[in-house]
Structure 1
Amino acid sequence: MSTPPRFADELQLAFRRYFRLAKVRRESLLARLLITSGFALAFPTGLLAVTLVFGARPLNLASVLASYACGFLIAFMIHGGYRLSERLLPQSTLDRLNAGGWRAGLFFSLMPMLCIASGLLLFGQLLGWWMQARVETPFDSPQGLSRFLFLSLVFALVGWYLDHQHRRRQALQLLATEAQLLRLQAQIEPHFLFNSLAAVQSLIKPAPDRALEMLEHFTDYLRASLSALREDSCPLAAELQLARSYLGLMQIRMGERLRFDIEATPQAEALRLPPLLLQPLVENAIVHGLEGKDEGGEVRVRAWVQDRHLLLEVRDDGLGSQSRPRRARPGHGLALKNIRERIATRYGERAELQLTLDEQGCQALLRLPLDLLEPKP
């Protein structure tokens, strides 16, 4: 059975997704609230430190408590503002904002500014009501207003620069991941080729029909693999054909120990996705699930559309959680890591790969956003 994630992992996941907009949040709400609380503590602490060093007036306990109370109010107003935007805006708009550009820069600059201004005004009113006195805010004088606008502009420019650098690193990481994948797949795993050719050669005299069948599957597999390497995206039907050729080839090698079934709806088959996402999952099912099982088993591949997502499932009834780590072929251990990096960079948090190990078998479920996979006209 799959083990539940540790809270530290939940916190790390929530921080990575904290500045991304999404209709559905899969990370822990408690983790997100803790991160917001961290910002609520950090900003007043920084401002108080600057005031302590450069300020003309000494700090007292009342001003420190008021600063932290105001910080929490503003932080959670910003949190609520973004969450309200996620609820009200359509998913297509959220995707455009997550993708960057001047509209995203304007949105992510104005939203905190409005929340900060509203929070300062609201806190001033509440504090004045509590103390039965008038409390000044930065907006009561032209000098205070100009300082607020200047600091907002500085923070907006710093935020834009950091976001630009982050997206640049993401793009470079995607190129590196794709290059590594292409290098690994271009090798087409020499030992696999040699073993397949040796199997064909051994069958030529005693079983020429089986040798011919194996050679046909082998040729189809090579043709589909090399074709996929030349394209940035391909129809799911091509990915399924590659999986079918690979499983047909493995079925001849394993005989009755291997059974497989591939099902896909016509709508799913027409969608385009990055090449060679499905193949590593099918190979994992064979290598880690069925090859080490004496009686073998079945691999089922399914593809369908549900809740505006393309779902790809690879399920086997092999060793599952009883599988022992095997000596990996070159690059094989990076398969799942590469898939997760590729879909995260292309589709953000709307895509995910779930791996569930049971006592008898394993399920790999790949979820991709439908509106980013539409077939080319």
Structure 2
Amino acid sequence: MIRKSVLAALAAVVVFHVLIFIQYGVVWVGALAGYRELLLLFAFLLPTFLVHAPIARLFGADRLTRPPAPVKALLEGLCVVLVSLVFWRVFYLFPQHYLVPTAELSPRALRLSLVLSAVLSLFFYYFVEREHMRKHLEQEVVRVAQLQKETFQAQLEALQKQVDPHFLFNSLNVLGSLIHLDPDRAVQFLGQLSDVYRALLATGAQPLVPLRSELALVRAYAHLMETRFGAALHVELAIDPAWEQALVPPTAVQMLLENAIKHNGATPRKPLRIKVSAENGLLIVENNRHPRTDALPSTHTGLPNIQRRYHHLTDRPVEIVPTPERFVVRLPLLPAPTV
């Protein structure tokens, strides 16, 4: 509103003095009363500028898809002109009888004023509002491209960590032991391993996935890790089904579990406990802290990647709350689009 008011005031001043110069050959009006015309011009331009934004949204790229492009452009221009004609009568012609009662407008002057108002409205619509919309769309394209890049990076990092030789060595080592000790559990472990890869690949390039899809990946990954670490690890999923339609960035929750396991040591006597829950529109991942004595080098990409993706998706921040006893991360649950 403030931006449009300032723009309307500047435009009114410029147009008013240009018309004065064209008509009288001077820039300044001698009598102060003459500037009442300037006030009328501002009263016409301000509502005109304010209504341009809804018109631009109405005829945006994702609206009115049925008419062909030339017909759509013609309808858009006609809509701008019709609105300007209505505003010319309401905010310029009628008030003129009260503010400038001595003014006598000839039919020629009325027609010229009418045409000028339509031309001004079209000029400012296409060179101000549409230009603003074009820049906004360009920014949106950049935002979507950046979000897609972050999603690709997260998926690549998740896959790279899963195919890491150390991870594969440990997984195959566990699988080899289970084949001799418990063939049924070995088959289950192999299924869990394939479920992890399948869930990772299923997300594709999607910037958001339903929470239920992310939980399928988390369950598969948690079962895999619990089989590997035994009683030293316990993962609890306490999610009300009502939240499973909400959206989250893919692999975000799985990355938080992976970070917790990577940076904490655990034993059967002091197990690592990870809890995933949801409340008040937030997905909460928390774990007790058992800092490793042989701390692994951190790439510092997991949490920053999640934060950057959320930055492109919503104004709600990712909350990170570390304490000496616990590490808590709260992810905003984004609403699913309504059909």
Give 2:330's aligned residue.
363
Matches within 5 A, 1:117-196: 117-118=86-87, 121-126=90-95, 128-130=97-99, 132-134=101-103, 141-158=110-127, 159-160=129-130, 163=133, 166-167=136-137, 170-171=140-141, 174-175=144-145, 177-178=147-148, 181-182=151-152, 184-186=154-156, 188-194=158-164, 195-196=166-167
Bigger radius of gyration among the two:
2
Asked if residue 260 in structure 1 is aligned to residue 236 in structure 2, the reply is: yes
Shift of residue 220, structure 1, vs aligned partner:
0.9
Structure 2 vs 1, CA of residues 139 and 166 (structure 1 numbering), >3 Å: closer, same or farther?
A: farther
Letter in 2 for 1:316: V
Give 2:252's aligned residue.
280
In structure 2, distance between residues paired with 1:290 and 1:314:
21
1:304-323 deviations in Å (ceiling 9; x for gaps): xxxxxxx9742123589xxx
Local SS of the residue matching 1:229: coil
Matches within 5 A, 1:316-331: 316-318=285-287, 327-329=298-300
* Structure 2: stretches of 5+ with no match in the other structure: 290-296
Q: Please say if residues 252 and 306 of structure 2, whose CA atoms lie closer than 8 Å, have aligned partners that are also in contact.
A: yes
Shift of residue 66, structure 1, vs aligned partner:
5.7
Local SS of the residue matching 2:318: strand
Letter in 1 for 2:155: Q
* Structure 1: stretches of 5+ with no match in the other structure: 1-32, 87-93, 304-310, 321-325, 344-350, 373-377
Q: Please say if residues 299 and 317 of structure 1, whose CA atoms lie closer than 8 Å, have aligned partners that are also in contact.
A: yes
In structure 2, distance between residues paired with 1:251 and 1:62:
85
Percent of aligned positions that are identical: 12
Matches within 5 A, 1:43-82: 43-47=11-15, 50=18, 56-60=25-29, 67=38, 70-71=41-42, 74-75=45-46, 79=50
Q: Please say if residues 237 and 275 of structure 2, whose CA atoms lie closer than 8 Å, have aligned partners that are also in contact.
A: yes
In structure 1, distance between residues paired with 2:329 and 2:237:
15
Matches within 5 A, 1:77-92: 79=50
Q: TM-score, normalised by structure 2?
A: 0.62
Structure 2 vs 1, CA of residues 285 and 204 (structure 1 numbering), >3 Å: closer, same or farther?
A: closer
Output the aligned Cα RMSD.
Answer: 5.2
Q: Please say if residues 36 and 75 of structure 1, whose CA atoms lie closer than 8 Å, have aligned partners that are also in contact.
A: yes
Give 2:275's aligned residue.
299
Structure 2 vs 1, CA of residues 357 and 72 (structure 1 numbering), >3 Å: closer, same or farther?
A: farther
Give 2:168's aligned residue.
197
Q: Please say if residues 192 and 223 of structure 2, whose CA atoms lie closer than 8 Å, have aligned partners that are also in contact.
A: yes
Q: TM-score, normalised by structure 1?
A: 0.57
In structure 2, distance between residues paired with 1:77 and 1:252:
67
Q: Please say if residues 77 and 122 of structure 2, whose CA atoms lie closer than 8 Å, have aligned partners that are also in contact.
A: no
Local SS of the residue matching 2:239: strand
Shift of residue 101, structure 1, vs aligned partner:
4.7
1:195-233 deviations in Å (ceiling 9; x for gaps): 432332454577766876654433211111112227798
